Structure 1
Amino acid sequence: ITFILFVMLSLSISAGVLVAFPFLALMMVLGLRRVPAAVAAVFAVFVAVGVPARGGIWYFERGWAVVLAGCFVVLTMRWPRSRFFPRALAAVAATAALVGLALMIRPGSWAVVDWLITEGLMRSASLIAQGLILSDPEAYTTADLNTAYELTMQLGGLFPALLGLSSLAGLAVAWWAYVRLSAGSGLGLGPLREFRFNDHLVWLFLIGLALVLFGSGEGWTGGGGNAVVFMGGLYAMRGAGVLLFLSGGLTVFGFLFLVIGMLFLSPVLISGALLVGLGDTWLDLRSKTKAIAGSKS
């Protein structure tokens, strides 16, 4: 079911658009310095335009990507020496604020966007369900398909958080590609083992969790759920970085174990990484490990 939901999300929002527009914006503002960057820019133009569609989601995802790209480039020009993640997180927050303001100005706009997202997810779910039934009619029961459809509806409610995480990933790929192709450097992004962010953001996770547990209305509960999913994804990544730091790196055997684990025990592994990431907010495990190693030497 997890795999099905991931595929549905990929079919409902174009991940390539979230990479292409920021990459093109960086190229246009900061300049083309090498031939590979120019070739990649031409390819990015085709990805950004895509196949024009009449559906409103085509315009929404490109409008979001344009605002996201603009915010990221402005922040990069204002603070060129700052690390990538603070700029990317600020760009996503600014984009959400600007798009949210635009939707508030026109009453009913968010309801239209919500309907478009849910309709796209349900259409993708139907296509995947038909394919699974045709491939092996006896492997999936009606209860399994009903569960998948119920999870699809929940996924639609969590779309803002998933869009935020996808936007961060798109900016990361775009920035890495720009630095790599334009400057020939592989240092656009820091190593995962050093990934961290402001510890005060834990309050966003805790407030979201409180709204989910004690929220008195659907709007408050939905907002809390999105905060938990968004920050939960970041804390799971932070926890993965802590585990990678403490283990000293990922061996071939460890990589194979991780792949197999994600296929069969992904909820357990992600929850474990989430708990480690949350704990690192107060324990700062990497700094303490460095201090202990320094005292022994």
Structure 2
Amino acid sequence: MFSADPLDVAAVEAYRQALLPLAAQLGVEQLPEPAPDDDSWQDKVELLVDDPVPVVSFTFGLPDRTTVERLHAVDSYLVGGVTSVDDALEAVRRGLDALVVQGPDAGGHQCTFRTSDPAPTTPLDTLLAAVRAAVPVPLIAAGGLSDTAEVRRVLEAGAVAAQLGTAFLLTPEAGTNPTHRAALTQPGFTETVLTRCFSGRLARGLRNAFVEAYDALAPACYPAVNQVAGPIRRAAAAAGDPQHTHLWAGTGWRLAAEEPAGEVVARLWPGTD
């Protein structure tokens, strides 16, 4: 579950206007106007209370104390993503049971509490040690992990688990679309970058033409930017155009392999079945 931002209509509408020429170029007839969207947060809370699940995870912020108490009352274990010691302390004060400690090399969205927060820079190893010293709850290490040595290192540093995403992008089980898959192996893509241009939130992906053109224009407003840019991203992906869609990837994307997910796990964590 995620927390949404207040909607800055003027800023998002200005961005929408800037995107209209590209939309027309890609055959997208219209881009949606910005509208409030909390991803049905309260409806999800009610559903989880009425039909409990063992684990509920949160990103982009924290649930309020009442929500925490209601979910604990139905025996759900609560996990939250953090990118700083301060956020970890606040998450534990709210009553969360475990934390995903995300380093800045992670692919996709950074789980900062506020969309306007600057890009995190503390390396995962340093952040993991600092959070471990500050809070007593179990920690899951995430962000840029891509080989056996890195997984072993965070586990030896006190994490109870390692969380990986980019390492699985080329597996047949992943939902990675064909355009994204192809880009991950193309030599023309040489670096990843944190940008707000696709969704309004900082997220790491391969640098492409869309990032070059729109990164400086995108307001820090999620999910409103995601709404207005979505039709462009989908049209580009469908057309096989990697230059105008999001290509989420962590800094270790070159190590992602085209093999079944089970083989990835066995390679990253020898001895597992």
Q: TM-score, normalised by structure 2?
A: 0.30
Structure (1 or 2) with the larger CA radius of gyration: 1
Query: Which has more strand, going by share of residues?
Result: 2
Q: TM-score, normalised by structure 1?
A: 0.28
